[in-house]
């Protein structure tokens, strides 16, 4: 698949088949983070990989699903695995370095996951303390992002933004299948200069 086609296919998914994701596949996805660029090459991000049923069902409640719309996934639509990114920022690098490193790692992992037939999302770790105690990780670490991983049951369809409305919407097709419509601005609206 061409790189642009893979980028277009790699969307945010919020409902999944209720099946396990093998640790071997999580390790393949992790390679995307392994070879990411890193500010000053400090490599201060750390990762927790889990496909444990009990941990996954708790993590499902430690993030906010689809804050823009009323629909929320049910527990039988939950993902089969998560990768969580942490930092203890030992070098006290500026926050823009941390967030940029985190974004690069997330997107690299998303591209690999998509190429393996999985769907993912990037989610704010809202209940940070709960996540640290659930995973038995020292408080010197901060959870930066949570990435659910599973076989998606929603198809994401990119549309054009109309009337400046960028809200995504969801159509229930029955039997846990959905269309999710995601408006994107045009290239002309994004580019403010070109010489
Ligand atoms: C920084 C960031 C934070 C996000 N946080 C959440 C989140 O907490 N919950 C959620 O359901 N989706 C979250 N998303 C997914 C966005 O809503 C999604 O990227 C957006 O609707 C566009 O859809 P697309 O990724 O398919 O293009 C997040 C995405 C990004 C980039």
Alpha helix positions (H), 94-173 = 95-115, 128-135
Ligand 1 pocket, residue 12 CB under 6 Å: yes
Percent of the residues in the chain that have a pLDDT greater than 90, as a whole number: 95
Question: How many Å lie between the centroid of ligand 1 and the Cα of residue 195?
Answer: 32
C-alpha of 135 from chain center: 18
CA distance 76 to 78: 6
Residue 92: the pLDDT is: 83
Helix (H, G, I), strand (E, B) or coil at 163: coil
What is the CB neighbour count within 10 angstroms for residue 47? 15
Ligand 1 pocket, residue 71 CB under 6 Å: no
Q: Whose CA is nearest to atom 31 of ligand 1?
A: 122
- Verdict on whether the full-model pTM lies above 0.75: yes
**pLDDT at residue 78 above 90?**
yes
- Work out the pLDDT band at 90, boundaries 50, 70, 90: confident
Residue 185: the pLDDT is: 97
Residue 71: the pLDDT is: 97
Ligand 1 pocket, residue 182 CB under 6 Å: yes
Residue linked to tokens 């927790």: 48
**pLDDT at residue 93 above 80?**
yes
Question: How many Å lie between the centroid of ligand 1 and the Cα of residue 121?
Answer: 6
């Amino acid at each position: 698949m061409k790189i642009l086609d893979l980028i277009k296919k790699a969307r945010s998914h919020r409902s999944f088949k209720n099946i396990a994701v093998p640790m071997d596949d999580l390790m393949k996805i992790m390679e995307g983070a392994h070879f990411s660029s890193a500010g000053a090459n400090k490599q201060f991000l750390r990762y927790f990989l889990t496909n444990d049923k009990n941990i996954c069902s708790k993590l499902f409640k430690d993030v906010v699903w689809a804050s823009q719309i009323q629909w929320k996934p049910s527990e039988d639509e939950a993902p089969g695995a998560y990768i969580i990114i942490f930092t203890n920022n030992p070098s006290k690098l500026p926050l823009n370095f941390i967030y940029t490193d985190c974004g690069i790692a997330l997107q690299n992992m998303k591209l690999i996951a998509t190429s393996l037939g999985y769907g993912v999302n990037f989610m704010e770790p809202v209940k940070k303390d709960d996540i640290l105690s659930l995973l038995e990780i020292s408080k010197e670490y901060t959870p930066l992002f949570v990435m659910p991983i599973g076989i998606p049951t929603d198809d994401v369809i990119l549309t054009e933004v109309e009337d400046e409305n960028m809200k995504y919407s969801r159509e229930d097709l029955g039997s846990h299948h959905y269309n999710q419509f995601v408006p994107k601005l045009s290239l002309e609206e994004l580019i403010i200069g070109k010489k």
